[in-house]
Structure 1
Amino acid sequence: MGSRRARRTPQTPGRTPTRRAASPPAKTPQTVRRRIKQRLAKLQQEEIAVSDDDSDFSPLEESSDSSEEDEPEAAGDRESGSDEDKDAEEEEEPRQRSEATYFALHSARGVTSNHTLSRLAEPRLSHAALQTLLGERPADHAAERAALLGDVELLFPHWLVALGHGFNVLLHGLGSKRAVLERLRLTQLQHRLHVVVNGFHPSVTPRQLLQTLLEDVLEVAAPPGRPEAQAEAVLRRFSGSGDARLFLLVNSMDGPMMRGERMQQLLARLAQAPRVHLVASVDHINAPLIWDQHKLAQFNFIWFDATTLLPYTEETSYENSLLVRQTADLALSSLRHVFKSLTPNARGIFILLAKHQLENADDRTFEGLPLSELYRRCREQFLVSSQVALRAQLTEFRDHKLIRSRATHDGVEQLTVPLEAPLIAEFLAGCDDS
């Protein structure tokens, strides 16, 4: 082994290995990828910028030619540049691509469908035809629904006990509770003083409720004019000495016309009276959001599950549906229902507005009755005492969707009735007959 090691020729101490001549650096895959990304970004930006297809100028070809000519120089600059410049370029390229992609996606027009209700093979039904078809349809699971209604009816004695101890009853659950309250009225409250409030009706207002309590229940000959005074009169009657008790049955306490602050505040004050007993129902899943902690303390509810699985036929009969054709009879019927709940002065104001619109029905430039002119006419007929009172009455009209108001270019408020001239004429003829 030692002799073999001795035969090896040691390298010369001062000798260094020869190096090959310097050759141009090879293009790495990273350089190629960077160049391709830049080319794609340029092409995408130029495609977005091109808007005229008939032009002979082709920026794509020019950019491709110029990019091919500048490739060697650009490659040399990139290879000779520092690492910091390369990192900055790599961070800038994705941002430019994302911006180009964003504007490319949002510059295109959205595609909309032309499948509208007017293109249906079957025309939309009228309200009367829809009610007829629903009435002819046999009820599903009639036995099971009757059993559920019977189970709820067994709770009537518990409700009366809770009412006698100062609590109020709130019914919740899936299905209409209108039949439940009707059975409660017929079986338990037939010989007691009670009032039924249909919260789903579009004409329900705090004023109408107070007038019903004063005129029909308490039989007050000359009730006060202001709502605050009317509420105080009702509360004095059922808070003082006496044996009379009032049972207030409210269907759909969370209905569209019942969600207002004034209505809920009135019901809360009535529920606090010692001899006023409230039994109400809610249908919406978010109904508890109507009340805060203060109102819940005033109502003092006990919640009972009254699931019936009955359809909400009456509760939804006054709502607009896209599948139901809005006929003139339905609009006129709704107007008459709401008109009956108004005070005499409010009726006079609405009739003034309707007559003025009917007189100008043939005038194409008619935009409505100015508010100042309406106030002048109401003062002449002693319908309002101030403009504040008129605006308060117009707010009630807007809540019932009896009028529309819009401001002109010079700031004048114009009032109109959202009905056609023949319907207004028929409505005014019915008012004259009554």
Structure 2
Amino acid sequence: MPRPKILKRSVAANPAIKSEIPVKKSTPEKTGKRKITEKENSAARNLTEKLEDEMEHMAFEDESVTMAQSAIENYFMQGKSANERMNTAKARRGRRAGNLEEDEEDDDSVSKMITEFTKCDLPSLRDYISDKDSSKFEKQLENLEEKEFPKWMIYLASGFNILLHGVGSKRQILTKFEEELSQYTYMRVDARKDGLNMKALLNAINENMNLNCPVKRSQTTISWARAIKRKMHGQQLILMIDNIEAPDWRNDQEALCELLENRESVKLIATVDHINSTFIWNSRQVASLFFVHVTVNTFEIPLQELMTGDSRLLGLDSRSNQSVHTMSSLDAFWKSLASNSQKLFRLFFQMYFDTKKPVKFWDLFNAAKDDFIASTDSALRTQLVEFKDHRVLKWTRGDDGNDQLSGIVELKLVTEFLESKNMPLDEKRDE
């Protein structure tokens, strides 16, 4: 038997009948929850927008910093990365700390390479300059002697000092002017010579003028010049200085000004060659020197100035291993030596070429004492200083703190030169 269908009551079926079923209203809890959600959504949207702006700004700043850092690194690191620079720096530090001899060998090889490409035949150059026609210069010297030298004497007598400048060597002008000073006490100084500085000048003045004013312990050059200036009261000295702008004199100009402050006792006539030579004096020193600037253009080749310089072009660089001497220059040096110094010359190079290593000072002293060349170490040092000044040897300090000497003249040249003097280098060795 089939089940009966149950029909549901529909409100929409009969619209005339109003529904008595109450409509459910939203509770306050639900309303409150919906409002909070809207606030959170708005806050979240604001926060999201703010974060996006900040992220864009931060991304732009990071990009700018990265570009700036990369540019700085590229400039200071010379296109290499930091790791590469660190590796090379470590290797460099290790090489410097571990093996300094390699750096010295590199410097020597560079110097040797330069001198090989820039060799100059000094004897030929000297002969060429000496054979140059100097008739015009001789006429100029005669003109200076007749017209200018009397004026210079008046300048010096009036308390002024004279500074000669111009194109060309002015050495012969001072040599000619020495004849005018034959009746006065004067001293000629070549400022380009090695080891000749303000202290050497003060020492020479003290000894030759019999001032009895030696340098005291811990006394500065300025205070020593001031003491000599006081001792020279009543005496007169004229200083003639060639190339007063030489490197060894640039730092002692204050002492020179102190010495020349007594214008009645000490007078100066000097020459300069460099165009900016007056920069070695400040305004106060220039005011105290009372210079009369005299322009003398001789257009003469400065042969002596070139030979006493450190020109690599001429092979006169003291740092290079190449010889800076010739047979003629050694002969001139040999004639200025005493007999004991000549024996010491041969003894030193014999010991140096035997070992091919620097000769220790005390080893040389013992050998010289056995050969009756020097009886005291001070006498030996005096002789060796003359060798050093003429670039025959160089004086260094060893790792143990003792002085050691190295020759800077080639073996072949020394051998030929000593054979020409009937003092063979290997004579004592054969005996």
Match of 1:301 in 2: 290
- Provide the secondary structure at the position in 1 that maps to 2:306: coil
| Equivalent pair of 1:177/1:306 in contact (CA under 8 Å) | no
- Provide the secondary structure at the position in 2 that maps to 1:362: helix
Distance 2:200 2:404 in 1: 28
Change (3 A) 1:316 1:264: farther
User: How far has the Cα of 1:264 moved from its partner?
Assistant: 8.3
Distance 2:259 2:134 in 1: 40
- Provide the secondary structure at the position in 1 that maps to 2:123: helix
2:154 pairs with one of 116, 140, 161: 161
Tell me the percent identity. Answer: 24
| Equivalent pair of 2:206/2:213 in contact (CA under 8 Å) | no
User: How far has the Cα of 1:429 moved from its partner?
Assistant: 7.9
| Equivalent pair of 1:148/1:307 in contact (CA under 8 Å) | no
Distance 1:133 1:303 in 2: 35
1:310 aligns with 2:310: no
1:280 pairs with one of 260, 266, 270: 270
Change (3 A) 1:106 1:174: farther
User: How far has the Cα of 1:252 moved from its partner?
Assistant: 2.0
Change (3 A) 1:294 1:360: same
| TM-score normalized by the length of structure 1 | 0.52
1:90 pairs with one of 63, 67, 71: 63
1:127 pairs with one of 122, 125, 139: 122
User: How far has the Cα of 1:308 moved from its partner?
Assistant: 0.9
User: How far has the Cα of 1:328 moved from its partner?
Assistant: 5.9
- Provide the secondary structure at the position in 2 that maps to 1:330: coil
1:250 aligns with 2:203: no
Distance 1:195 1:80 in 2: 85
1:184 aligns with 2:173: no
- Provide the secondary structure at the position in 2 that maps to 1:314: helix
Deviation per residue, 1:316-353 (Å, 9 max, x gap): 233344444679683565566667878x8xx9689657
Please give the residue correspondences for 1:284-433 in structure 2 after superposition, counting only pairs within 5 Å: 284-290=274-280, 300-311=289-300, 312-324=302-314, 330-331=325-326, 352=344, 355-359=347-351, 361-363=353-355, 366-374=356-364, 381-384=374-377, 401-408=391-398, 413-424=403-414, 426=417
Residue type at the aligned position of 1:105: G
Larger radius of gyration, structure 1 or 2?
2
Match of 2:20 in 1: none
- Provide the secondary structure at the position in 1 that maps to 2:153: helix
Please give the residue correspondences for 1:26-41 in structure 2 after superposition, counting only pairs within 5 Å: none
| TM-score normalized by the length of structure 2 | 0.53
| Equivalent pair of 2:161/2:291 in contact (CA under 8 Å) | yes
- Provide the secondary structure at the position in 2 that maps to 1:94: helix
Distance 1:392 1:303 in 2: 39
| Equivalent pair of 2:165/2:295 in contact (CA under 8 Å) | yes
1:199 aligns with 2:188: no
Q: Which runs of no fewer than 5 residues in structure 1 stay unpaired?
A: 1-77
Distance 1:80 1:118 in 2: 69
Distance 1:91 1:294 in 2: 53
| Equivalent pair of 2:387/2:393 in contact (CA under 8 Å) | yes
Residue type at the aligned position of 1:285: I
User: How far has the Cα of 1:418 moved from its partner?
Assistant: 1.8
| Equivalent pair of 1:208/1:341 in contact (CA under 8 Å) | no
User: How far has the Cα of 1:368 moved from its partner?
Assistant: 2.0
**For structure 1, which segment, 164-173 or 373-382, has the greater mean C-alpha deviation from structure 2 after superposition?**
373-382
Change (3 A) 1:334 1:301: farther
Deviation per residue, 1:3-24 (Å, 9 max, x gap): xxxxxxxxxxxxxxxxxxxxxx
Residue type at the aligned position of 2:347: K
User: How far has the Cα of 1:358 moved from its partner?
Assistant: 0.7
Change (3 A) 1:384 1:239: farther
- Provide the secondary structure at the position in 2 that maps to 1:279: strand
Change (3 A) 1:392 1:167: same
User: How far has the Cα of 1:282 moved from its partner?
Assistant: 1.8
Distance 2:143 2:230 in 1: 38
Residue type at the aligned position of 2:191: G
| Equivalent pair of 1:254/1:282 in contact (CA under 8 Å) | yes
Change (3 A) 1:360 1:93: closer
Q: Which runs of no fewer than 5 residues in structure 2 stay unpaired?
A: 1-50, 85-109, 217-224, 317-321, 425-431
Distance 1:80 1:163 in 2: 84
Distance 1:203 1:96 in 2: 51
2:79 pairs with one of 105, 125, 148: 105
How many residue pairs match? The answer is 326
Distance 2:342 2:258 in 1: 31
User: How far has the Cα of 1:197 moved from its partner?
Assistant: 3.5
| Equivalent pair of 1:235/1:273 in contact (CA under 8 Å) | no
